[in-house]
Amino acid sequence: MPRSVTELQLQFARRLVGAHPDSSYVGPVPPRLLAIPVIEVEFNADGSVRGTRVLRHPSTGPEATQLALEAIRRAAPYGNVSRLPKPWKIIEAFLFDDDLRFKPRTLDLP
């Protein structure tokens, strides 16, 4: 169970990659990215996805947004968040390479 929103963000990113080993990557970000959709995810108390909202649609690789939304839904639930203060939301940027594999930007943060 995450103890902070920061822990929730990291748990979310790790769960996404773990649930999608064939369509994600964890190494260095390539010098050129195909698309970077940014998505807000709202959770229910049990960590299931209550809703999503696209905050940034990429100008290239339009299918990347739909792939990211599908990946979010398939990897749920993300762990009980009931002890965190509301609203139970995070924002994630998806870094898509030319092969349409994604990496959550959170995994590159210190």
| pLDDT at site 82 | 96
What CATH number matches the domain at 5-108, 3.90.1570, 1.10.10, 3.30.1150, 2.60.40? 3.30.1150
Using CA atoms, how far residue 101 sits from 39, 44, 64, 87, in Å, is 16, 27, 9, 30
Q: Is the predicted pLDDT of residue 101 greater than 90, yes or no?
A: yes
What are the tokens at 57? 């649609």
Whole-structure pTM value: 0.95
Place of tokens 């996404």: 16
What is the edge-to-edge ordering of all strands in the sheet holding 38-43? 49-56, 38-43, 89-96, 102-104
Using CA atoms, how far residue 64 sits from 29, 33, 45, 92, 105, in Å, is 16, 11, 28, 13, 14
| pLDDT at site 44 | 98
Side chain identity at residue 9, one-letter code:
Q
| pLDDT at site 110 | 77
Domain parsing of the chain, residue ranges: 5-108
What are the tokens at 78? 């993300």
| pLDDT at site 76 | 96
